[in-house]
Structure 1
Amino acid sequence: MGTALIFKRPDNGDASGYLANAASGNAPGVVVIHAVWGLTDHIKAVCDRFALAGFDALAPDLYNGEVVPFNDLHAADLKMKSLDLIDATTQSVRGAAQYLARNGTKVGLTGFCLGGALTIIGAAKVPELAAGVVFYGIPARHAAKPIDVGIPLQAHFANKDDWCTPRMVDGFAEEMNAAGKSLEVFRYDAEHGFVNEQLPCHNRTAAEVAWGRTTGFFKKHLG
């Protein structure tokens, strides 16, 4: 449904990604940030689904064409740790947001795992955004402080998650609340990565509930 795309970063460098357009013109946009595996077929399918829901969706390829196999956790961890999170957010993610906002439409941001953490960083550092939806990812506090978040956020977390733990979620929610920021938090009796149908941890019921909440949130804030 979608297509490969080359777009400009704010530093005028080139970035690549996957774009799926809604049927109607001037649709609101959603930037979709991939997980530690890279720009997989799952992320492309998420973009396609956003397009069917009435959003133009663009997933920047932060790994420059490399996709890590789902069964290679070690390689995924190394790839994630080699990524400059601030550059990825303020350049590739922001460039994607600027591309979607070029006709004056509102743009949201969402991401999974690594992408969830970058969504929070983007909420603090990308001025083109109007709303964000986080999936089971929280960055290190030095990368994005809750006080700097400038948009409403919705967040989805798994109760059986040893990477983005319930305790981390509690701390993040408390800091957002103390900073007076807008945050909706939803928790699911599921495991990390529960939205991804290509993983054994996929939980269809939780994923569908989260999808309905996500699209409703974006329709509210993006139009």
Structure 2
Amino acid sequence: MSHAEHENPRQNVTFPATDAAGADHAHGYLAVPAAGRGPGVVVVQEWWGLTDHVVAIVDRLAAEGFVALAPDLYGGRTTHDAAEAMTFLRELPPERAARDLAGAVSYLEGHEAVTSGTVGAVGFCMGGAFVLSLAAQQGGRIGAAVPWYGLPADETDFSRLTAPVLGHYGESDASIPVEAVHATAERIRAQSGVEPELHVYPAGHAFYNDERPEAYDRASAELAWERTTGFLRRHLS
């Protein structure tokens, strides 16, 4: 099934994403730095879809010198309604998301503007969970993994993960308890040997999302952003 069934004006690039059924394509939003070249980073959306907020994150990474790509995992659909977002998430087959994200990694690997030998992955909420799953699935193709307030399923196999991990979580996040964050970190450590770098902020869930004033925490958001860009620069070369 093509993702072109819903048009999203934020989409500006199409790339191959192959699954067991054969070749297909995915769409997304790509931004290249003013210098024309830089390390490659996949940005994984929240459960709201490829929204203006996600586009702004991609643009901000490009302004920091990265070639950033956000795949449109919902095929053009976006929402600001939590019930509808839950429906979109439930209708997203995990294998299709994995295919589209792997396709985004391949696209950046082959892009003439990308200077890094590996690709970074940054994701928020649902996207944070997908970042850790992607790093586990793709092994050495992912050079840095940065989940923001998201955790994958407990049964995720981290044995192939080699990327350094930087995680950002809120201490008052009711949906992602700090205990669950530490339990996931322990599984990563035990299965892969990677020691995750975790930061817990005096904030709740989605503290980077300035489209949601009830959640946004500017001080935590800016500190986590500074840590993220520094981490990506250190590990993507």
Q: Where on the TM-score scale, by shorter chain, does this alignment land: which range?
A: over 0.9
Q: Which residue of 1 aligns with 2:170?
A: 158
State the AA in 2 paired with 1:8: P
- 1:134 paired residue among 147, 151, 154: 147
In structure 1, runs of 5+ residues without a counterpart are none
CA contact (8 A) 1:3 1:20 kept: no
How far has the Cα of 1:145 moved from its partner?
2.1
CA contact (8 A) 1:146 1:181 kept: no
CA shift digits 1:77-112 (9 cap, x unpaired): 1211221223312x1111111111114633100100
Question: Does 1:100 pair with 2:112?
Answer: no
Number of residues paired by the alignment? 218
Question: Does 1:195 pair with 2:208?
Answer: yes
Percent of aligned positions with the same letter in both sequences?
39
TM-score of the two chains, using structure 1 as the length reference: 0.93
How far apart are the structure 2 equivalents of 1:3 and 1:118? 20
TM-score of the two chains, using structure 2 as the length reference: 0.87
Q: Which residue of 2 aligns with 1:217?
A: 231
CA shift digits 1:186-221 (9 cap, x unpaired): 000101000010012100100000000000000000
Q: Secondary structure at the match of 1:190?
A: coil
Q: Which residue of 1 aligns with 2:198?
A: 185
State the AA in 2 paired with 1:52: A
**Correspondences of 1:1-223 after superposition (within 5 Å):** 4-11=12-19, 12-69=23-80, 72-89=81-98, 91-102=99-110, 103=112, 105=116, 106-127=118-139, 128-142=141-155, 144-179=156-191, 180-199=193-212, 200-223=214-237
How far apart are the structure 1 equivalents of 2:94 and 2:211? 25
How far apart are the structure 2 equivalents of 1:75 and 1:161? 21
CA RMSD after TM alignment? 1.5
How far apart are the structure 1 equivalents of 2:65 and 2:235? 14
CA contact (8 A) 2:168 2:199 kept: yes
State the AA in 1 paired with 2:148: F
CA contact (8 A) 2:154 2:184 kept: no
